[in-house]
Structure 1
């Protein structure tokens, strides 16, 4: 079968909107400088709204998107969800929300109940921290192994909530334990497990960890956030990662995410989408449709295309 570039509608499973000049984003303040995997991030300390996003998409048809929490002031997690819900009402984007919830806090039960009451909330995210380098794995554990955090995680199922997990690949054995211990909760791995280093040894370690995670049927993966500082976003540089995720999880558990505007530090949205479509071109049309739209619609229970 000849390769065919996907030209259908796209559901972006991972993007952000923000207005740091009027909303509480500590890391986006003009003076803020946090360790950031793409280096200097001053260029994204600006308003980014649905009109900007649609303009950035250019010729690509964005049918729906999933708003992912933006490290808004942790004292006001409900405020961010109200803000994102308001954007959806005014602009038609996003179509679903991944809300902020700190699972090990004393107020976790109340926050989860309040977040779940918003019609667009489908999932929550709480980055579990832990070892920052592969060689540190095993010396310490992430919050995925903390009893209080797990008690918060256990509450997701009663609200029908999924969990968005952002952690590097060397912590994925803990994610396997979590997925097996809570088989009724869907876990969505962000940014393909963060395979930042692309040398053969690092990629081999990443692939082995992802293969173990793929054995958990309640786990899906967002192929997003693949930019590399100082390097162009190309099908050649990112193709091995994208193809490995689809091979391991299948298109029915893999989905495209732009991570915009964060990944605008590395590439334009047409460069990322065009590159992803070129990588996926050898796949059968049904698998391309799943990767670019269908899987995200199903996993995040998005409204059918109108």
Structure 2
């Protein structure tokens, strides 16, 4: 039985979702990972599927697309192939902007991928994204997620340790601020000090921490969420001292966190989700303030724990004690400002 929608009139900008079609994660050296189970539930997630979710009862007025390695160009220079994803998503955004699909403005902002390990060569790729984005391109994401235990990330073991500290990476990163582009950071809880260092080195660049820094409860971290919570909390508080950093409140339904709700049957209700996630969400809001926090769906990845309407019900339960001004920021205002959305 679907849950009743809480606060159905509250405007929402979903600042983090993906689009893909039959994506695969080639991982010959790693056994099937729980992350794959969630992905396999939605092998196709395009405009129709997104609209089915955003039209499920909550008042989603706009969304921001986040890179996911889909729809890259099949040929041409390797460094420029991710621009194909921006071209595709801008087409989806244009379809939505026509009004033929309802009032929601899907993909009003686009966050793509440019390999900053190109150093100064990354600037030309960023310029190509801007041209391809039709005025919607807002920034990039480079994942730094790494752990010595390869079972933690499974198929997402893709980078070497210390990416955000790399001098060549920072040569590429320095172009973002002057080009008015933001940077989405995805890394794991033990790596948060690396982002603290990056944020302090580039105070003029807008940085967004994805998924509250991804607390870990898998592999060598299984059963240790509570033990490591104070370490995560201290890192979050340190990161919040850099005023150029905002944080996305979500991603806690992923396999890496391994909360009891992940892949639970029957599916967890929104109250259980809110109870599991509350310490992390409340710590972030306390550290950053509502005007630097934004709830995110991370769909369809977070389908591993719940459907889209239940997810936003959980967030609304978590924000129940917030003022009207704080709710406006958490659910739409921060995303609108950070991604410079005219919606």
TM range (shorter): 0.7 to 0.9
After TM superposition, the structure 1 stretch with the greater mean CA deviation from structure 2, 44-53 or 211-220, is 44-53
Q: Does 1:185 align with 2:205?
A: yes
The counterpart of 1:263, out of the listed 302, 308, 311, is 302
The counterpart of 1:230, out of the listed 263, 285, 296, is 263
The 8 Å contact of residues 186 and 211 in structure 2, kept in 1 or not, is answered as yes
Give 1:12's aligned residue.
Answer: 14
Closer, same or farther in 2 for the Cα pair 1:42/1:173, shift >3 Å? closer
The 8 Å contact of residues 8 and 57 in structure 2, kept in 1 or not, is answered as no
Closer, same or farther in 2 for the Cα pair 1:33/1:266, shift >3 Å? farther
Provide the aligned length of Structure 1 versus Structure 2. Answer: 290
Give 2:101's aligned residue.
Answer: none
Q: Distance in 2 between matches of 1:27 and 1:169?
A: 23
The 8 Å contact of residues 297 and 308 in structure 2, kept in 1 or not, is answered as yes
Closer, same or farther in 2 for the Cα pair 1:203/1:157, shift >3 Å? same
Give 2:44's aligned residue.
Answer: 47
Q: Does 1:201 align with 2:223?
A: no
1:171-197 Cα offsets, whole Å, 9 max, x none, are 111111111111110110000000133
User: What's the CA shift for 1:43?
Assistant: 2.5
Q: Which structure exhibits the higher relative contact order, with contacts defined as CA atoms closer than 8 Å and separated by 6 or more residues?
A: 1
3-state DSSP class of the match of 1:104? helix
User: What's the CA shift for 1:19?
Assistant: 2.2
Report 1:157-176 matches (<5 A). 157-176=177-196
After TM superposition, the structure 1 stretch with the greater mean CA deviation from structure 2, 181-190 or 200-209, is 200-209
Give 1:137's aligned residue.
Answer: none
Q: Distance in 2 between matches of 1:37 and 1:298?
A: 35
Q: Does 1:113 align with 2:145?
A: no
The counterpart of 1:27, out of the listed 25, 30, 33, is 25
After TM superposition, the structure 1 stretch with the greater mean CA deviation from structure 2, 115-124 or 256-265, is 115-124
The counterpart of 2:59, out of the listed 55, 58, 61, is 61
| TM superposition score normalised by structure 2 | 0.78
Give 1:136's aligned residue.
Answer: none
Specify every segment of 5 or more residues in structure 2 that has no aligned partner in the other structure, as ranges.
Answer: 1-5, 98-105, 150-159, 218-223, 254-258
User: What's the CA shift for 1:50?
Assistant: 2.5
The 8 Å contact of residues 189 and 220 in structure 1, kept in 2 or not, is answered as yes
Give 1:99's aligned residue.
Answer: 112
Give 1:250's aligned residue.
Answer: 289
The 8 Å contact of residues 129 and 142 in structure 1, kept in 2 or not, is answered as no
3-state DSSP class of the match of 2:107? coil
Report 1:50-89 matches (<5 A). 50-57=47-54, 58-72=56-70, 73=72, 75=78, 76-89=81-94
Closer, same or farther in 2 for the Cα pair 1:250/1:36, shift >3 Å? farther
| TM superposition score normalised by structure 1 | 0.87
Specify every segment of 5 or more residues in structure 1 that has no aligned partner in the other structure, as ranges.
Answer: 134-139
Q: Distance in 2 between matches of 1:34 and 1:112?
A: 35
The 8 Å contact of residues 185 and 218 in structure 1, kept in 2 or not, is answered as yes
